[in-house]
Amino acid sequence: MSVSVTSRRVPLHRGWVLLAVAVVLFAAAAPAAGARIGREDAVVPQRPTTDAPFARAQAGLAYDPGRQVTLLFGGEYLGAYMNDTWAWNGTKWRLQAPPRSPSPRAGMGMAYDAARKQIVVFGGFNGHGYLNDTWIWNGRAWKKLAIPSAPKARANMGMVWDDARQVIVMFGGGTANIFNDTWTWDGTAWTRQAPASSPGKRSDMGMAYDPLHQQVVMFGGQGFNFYGDTWTWDGTNWTKQNPSSSPIARWGPGMGYDRVSDQTVLFGGDVLSGPLDDTWTWDGTNWTERFPASSPAARFRFPMDWSPNNQLILFGGNGAVVYGDTWTWDGSAWMLR
């Protein structure tokens, strides 16, 4: 079956090119309460004038349905690695004050474990090296778990809750090496899976769980090149899909599942010519490009998940600048919150 790929005009700026003046403007600012910085010489982001997280990329985000909040943790801003914890109640952000926290990091895996009613964080990068520690959040505090056998240290992996199998699924990620291994977390241990087929080695993919079709959906990423393929995980094997239409190859997109429209939503990402601002939905068979009246600015390496106001939420990311904005998707339109 032939695959038609819809191209899209992208901005000519590069997401990695940040104006030198930004360093001057932000160097003297102080971090938010509860945040620690991973490097002494790192540029510190400006304290927000409103009660909301400051700008960052590669943060972790996970929806906690029991407590009706979406939790944001960590991330990176111009070399500053953070470990602050924020909760979004569908209307506003609130800074949390746990007695201890994971060390500052970005690009970690983060997902809600519905069976044990806790949020799980794994790995990431702290500015000096890659991590492979496992932490859980119980709504009030972070706790580091002693894991006898954990996946290798990495960052920018895909990590989501698989409700049909009642485990967290983690795929790929990278260090100096790029991985294509599949792991599951059952609340006690990480177990490496042995699928008959797997996607190629990659990091920075989009990944979400589709409860309607009871499968994990993965799109794109980067390895030896940029990927534009779609894969699904059924608990045993990865299967490459052959949609008749598809987004162009990219890395660093945001991806989440819209529980109202029962569709997986993909936004943005990065290509050679710059970051993207397109929106696509996956119905289990095909990708369809959407054309909302307004959209977030083109960006990559930002998290997306469900929000207590029954919409998808997107926060921050890299683009023309490092963003600190909050957007929600209601199934047809993006709204700046």
Output phi, psi for 67, to 5 deg. -100, 0
Specify the pLDDT at position 21.
28
Which CATH number covers residue 83? Answer: 2.120.10.80
> How many alpha carbons fall within 13 Å on the CB side of residue 43?
18
Specify the pLDDT at position 333.
97
Q: Is-above-0.75 flag for pTM?
A: yes
Structural domain includes residue 26: yes
Structural domain includes residue 89: yes
Closest C-alpha among 196, 288, 276, 291 to residue 243: 288
Sheet holding 158-162, edge to edge: 158-162, 167-174, 178-185, 190-192
Structural domain includes residue 259: yes
Q: Is the pLDDT of residue 42 over 50?
A: no
Structural domain includes residue 1: no
Q: pLDDT category, 32, cuts 50, 70, 90?
A: very low
Task: Give the rounded distance of the alpha carbon of 85 from its chain centre.
Answer: 15
Specify the pLDDT at position 19.
31
Specify the pLDDT at position 51.
87
Domain of 41 in residue numbering reads as 9-336
64-92: average pLDDT: 97
Tell me the per-residue pLDDT of 243-252, one tens digit each, with 9 for 90 and over.
Answer: 999 999 999 9
Q: Is the pLDDT of residue 26 over 50?
A: no
Tokens read off for 245: 């239409």
Q: What is the dihedral of CA 148, 100, 48, 109, to 10 degrees?
A: 10
Q: Is the pLDDT of residue 276 over 70?
A: yes
How many Å apart are CA 195 and CA 273, to the nearest integer?
Answer: 35
Higher pLDDT, 3 or 89: 89
Specify the pLDDT at position 240.
98
Q: How many domains does the chain have?
A: 1
Structural domain includes residue 16: yes
Structural domain includes residue 3: no
Contacts of 27 by beta carbon, 8 Å cutoff, 6+ apart: 43, 44
How many Å apart are CA 171 and CA 180, to the nearest integer?
Answer: 6
Q: Is the pLDDT of residue 239 over 90?
A: yes
Contacts of 29 by beta carbon, 8 Å cutoff, 6+ apart: 44, 45, 46, 47
pLDDT-above-90 percentage for the chain: 84
Q: Is the pLDDT of residue 302 over 80?
A: yes
Output phi, psi for 23, to 5 deg. -65, -40
Structural domain includes residue 4: no
Strands (E) located in 127-225: 130-137, 142-145, 158-162, 167-174, 178-185, 190-192, 206-210, 215-222
24-49: average pLDDT: 39
Specify the pLDDT at position 50.
57
76-99: average pLDDT: 97
Output phi, psi for 26, to 5 deg. -100, -10
pLDDT-above-70 percentage for the chain: 85
Tell me the per-residue pLDDT of 99-137, one tens digit each, with 9 for 90 and over.
Answer: 999 999 999 999 999 999 999 999 999 999 999 999 999
Structural domain includes residue 191: yes
210-239: average pLDDT: 97
Q: Is the pLDDT of residue 3 over 60?
A: no
How many Å apart are CA 310 and CA 302, to the nearest integer?
Answer: 20
In the block, which residue shows the tokens 């191209």?
7
